[in-house]
Amino acid sequence: MSVRALSLAETTFVVLDLETSGAAPSTGAGITEIGALKVRGGEIIGEFQSFVNPGHYLSVFITSLTVITDAMLVDAPDIDHILPTFIDFLGP
């Protein structure tokens, strides 16, 4: 089926929310949380949420902004371990 043949109600969307430990990967910032909803026809058909250990402590500013603490991330998987699971969630 071609993309043009799908109506908007039949199209699956993923709404993504990322939290990070800073503004740019070039400064050492990493993802601290991934949240996503898979939606089709206005209904939620899947949910994904995981904390991600960025490999360093969070600044007071980031903790204040995101309400994510180092304690919440200490046992979380790193991005290399959570990414395959997230990519599977994004699938068909």
Confidence grade of residue 21 (pLDDT, cut at 50, 70, 90): very high
Confidence grade of residue 9 (pLDDT, cut at 50, 70, 90): confident
pLDDT tens-digit profile of 45-82? 999 999 999 999 999 999 999 999 999 999 999 999 99
- List of long-range contacts for 5-14, beta carbons under 8 Å, 24+ apart: 9/40, 9/41, 9/42, 10/40, 10/41, 11/40, 12/38, 12/39, 12/40, 12/45, 12/92, 13/38, 13/39, 13/40, 14/38, 14/39, 14/89, 14/90
Q: What is the pLDDT of residue 3?
A: 57
